Amino acid sequence: MLFVLVGPTRSGKSTFINTVLGRDVAIEGRVESCYSTTRSIANYKNLEIKDGENNEYLPNMTLNFMDTIGLGDTSVEYTDEEIQELVKAELMEKTKCDQINAVIILENPNSPAI
């Protein structure tokens, strides 16, 4: 299963991936950081899920995640439109669109959209 994470910088995309997998795979930003952390698209493939309670990997279940560059950070070398194009190109090139199970859109909790 492939999940694509999109949303503003520091909305918790990388943290979401790590939380679901039960271990640190994607690099998370520090809370006090002013800058986006994920600065290029990262594909995490065929990763097993770790059960945090007994520290064991769950059998017969692997997940794929695409972690994307956060939107809305002017310190990043790409504009939001360029990031959207990069994500689109990545999806078309490395995976097939019909393999996507969900696009997960995260928002910052203080966003007016919430």
Ligand X SMILES: Nc1nc2c(ncn2[C@@H]2O[C@H](COP(=O)(O)OP(=O)(O)OP(=O)(O)O)[C@@H](O)[C@H]2O)c(=O)[nH]1
Question: In the set 4, 21, 37, 66, which binds ligand X (CB under 6 A)?
Answer: 37
Q: Give the footprint of ligand X on residues 45-104 (CB under 6 A).
A: 70
Interface stretch with ligand X, choices 33-41, 54-62, 83-91, 92-100 (CB under 6 A):
33-41
38 binds ligand X per the rule CB under 6 A: yes
Report the partner that residue 4 touches, choosing among Mg ion, ligand X, none (CB closer than 5 to 8 A by kind).
none
Q: Is 91 helix (H, G, I), strand (E, B) or coil?
A: helix
CA–CA gap between residue 38 and residue 85 (Å, rounded): 16
CB contact set of 84 (below 8 Å; sequence gap of 6+): none
Helix (H, G, I), strand (E, B) or coil at 62: strand
Query: Which of 2, 3, 6, 13 is in the footprint of ligand X by CB under 6 A?
Result: 13
**How many C-beta atoms lie closer than 10 Å to residue 98's C-beta?**
7
Give the interface with ligand X as residue ranges (CB under 6 A). 9-15, 28-31, 36-38, 70
